[in-house]
Each structure stands twice: as structure tokens, then as C-alpha cells.
Amino acid sequence: MILHDLFDWTSSGVGLTGLALTVGALWQATGAKRAATEAREAVYQRNAADALAEMVRLAEDCEQYLLLERPNEAALRARDIVSRIPKERKRFERFLIADSDKLKALEIVFQELVGQLSLVRSLEDKANARSTGDAIGRAKAELSSVHGRLLSRVDEEDS
């Protein structure tokens, strides 16, 4: 009888140890899942910041091409921006929700700039080229401010 009781107590001890190890593993897995989710969010935010940085670079290229009297290349860069804004806005909707309206407005501005750049073909109309360059500069500044706000949110969450 004593052997049977000893066996029962040993089995109970092994079962409780197994249960404790399982609970510990679940607790660690929950923490790992939370860390993985936070890391995925950080990567998405960083990708959104990189996408906006690329659009800012395209706007700078557009401005430089206009200064170099190459309106065709400037129009091409503006078209690239027009095609990327809706795609990136949809792709990173969670992170750009605060600036969604501003990005829609910038998309319209760059569409208008494509039309203006098509009128600056000869560059003999220096006033038209200058006003288009100023408009590109303002649009680039707005795009940079959206990028800056996103970067500040990324930096806030990193610290």
C-alpha cells in the first residue's frame, strides 16, 4: 500500500511539474508574440518612412530637373510621385491616417504640376518655369513635412 501511495504522489509531482513548465512556456510564448508584433509594426512604420523619403527624393529630382531646364524629366518625376502617392497611402494606411488628406491634396498638386510642366516645353517662358518651380518647391516642402511627422512618430515609439 505504501508503494502504491508513493507512486501516486510521484505521478502527481511529475504532472504538476509538467503543468508548471507548460504555463511558463505559454507565458514566454505570449511575450514573444507581443515582441514580434511590435517589431512588425516598427518595420512597417520604417518602410512607410522610407517610401515617403523616396517620394521626397523624387520631388527634389523634379525641382532640380526644372532648374537644369529639363522639363520632360521633371514631368516624369512628377508622374512617378502621382502614381506612388495613392499606392503608398493605401499600403501604409494605418501610419498615414493623420496625413491622408494632405497626401490626397499633394497628389492633386503633383497632377497639376505635370500639366504645368507639359507647358514649359520650350522654357522660353521663364515666368511660367519659375512659378512651376516655386509650386514644386512648396509641394516638396509639404511632402517633407509629412515625412518628418512620420519619422518623429517612429522615433517616439523607438524610445
What angle (nearest 5°) sits at the alpha carbon of residue 103, between those of residues 113 and 55?
70
Instruction: Give yes or no for residue 119 having a pLDDT over 80.
Output: no
pLDDT score recorded for residue 78: 92
143 backbone φψ class: left, alpha, beta (φ>0; ψ -120 to 50): alpha
Instruction: Give yes or no for residue 132 having a pLDDT over 60.
Output: yes
Region 131-152 average pLDDT: 87
Return d(Cα 14, Cα 86) in angstroms, integer. 59
Structural contact between residues 135 and 120, judged by C-beta atoms closer than 8 angstroms: no
pLDDT > 70: percent of the chain: 89
Q: Which of 12-26, 44-58, 75-89, 95-109 has the lowest mean pLDDT?
A: 12-26
Q: Give how far the C-alpha of residue 28 lies from the chain's centroid of Cα atoms, to the nearest Å.
A: 30
Instruction: Give yes or no for residue 150 having a pLDDT over 90.
Output: no
Structural contact between residues 52 and 145, judged by C-beta atoms closer than 8 angstroms: no
Express each pLDDT in 27-78 by its tens digit: 887 888 888 888 888 888 888 889 999 999 999 999 998 888 888 888 899 9
146 backbone φψ class: left, alpha, beta (φ>0; ψ -120 to 50): alpha
Using alpha carbons, select from 141, 158, 144 the residue that is nearest to residue 45.
Answer: 158
Residue 99's pLDDT band, with cuts at 50, 70 and 90, is confident
Q: Structural domains in the chain?
A: 41-158 (1.20.120)
pLDDT score recorded for residue 122: 58
Instruction: Give yes or no for residue 85 having a pLDDT over 70.
Output: yes
Question: Which residues have CB under 8 Å from 146's CB, separation 6+?
Answer: 52, 96, 99, 102, 103, 106
Residue 114: how many CB atoms within 10 A of its CB?
Answer: 17
Q: Which residue has the cell 514573444?
A: 32
